[in-house]
Structure 1
Amino acid sequence: MLPDPHTDSRAERPRRVHRTSWMCLLSGLLFIGMGIRYLTGPDPDAVVMAPLLVGGLGFAAFIAILAKAIRR
């Protein structure tokens, strides 16, 4: 006989949900974008890319702080 689906022996667990880590998401997108930039075309100048990296990480941190403040 087939087991009755309504009397399943496994208890259903509540779904675990976590909030988005905006710092991780934006930093990852920044590094992926910079990696794609280095792989395609001529090598970009480090004088331009270093401030872009620092500015991008600063922007990601700013968004993460705003998101944390809004959540409360």
Structure 2
Amino acid sequence: MRRHRTDWLSLLAGLLFVGVGVRYVSGPGPAPEAMIPILIIGLGLAGFIGVLTKAFRKR
């Protein structure tokens, strides 16, 4: 069996959206105006980590 490397960008983005979904299903969530910046910042951090891991893999 051949193993592949973890795609950190996809993993972190998926966890972010699952976390937001669970938050809204479990009870009254915060206003959507407050969640949009959180999602944008979270995706930005996930992208930054994805870029860093690719840079370190090439070494």
Question: When the two structures are superposed, what TM-score results if normalisation uses the length of structure 2?
Answer: 0.91
Higher helix share: 2
Which residue of structure 1 aligns with residue 52 of structure 2? Answer: 66
Which residue of structure 1 aligns with residue 3 of structure 2? Answer: 17
Q: Extract unaligned runs of 5+ from structure 1.
A: 1-14
Number of residue pairs the alignment of both structures matches: 58
Q: Percent identity?
A: 53
Deviating 4+ runs (over 3 angstroms): none
Q: Which of the numbers 21, 26, 44 marks the counterpart of 2:12?
A: 26
Alpha-carbon RMSD across the aligned residues, in angstroms, is 0.8
| CA distance in 2 between partners of 1:19 and 1:43 (Å) | 35
CA offsets 1:19-70 (integer angstroms, 9 cap, x no match):
1000110001001100011011213211110000011100000000000001
Q: Structure 2: which amino acid aligns with 1:23?
A: L
| Larger Rg belongs to | 1
Q: Extract unaligned runs of 5+ from structure 2.
A: none
**Larger RCO, structures 1/2 (Cα 8 Å, 6+ apart):** 2
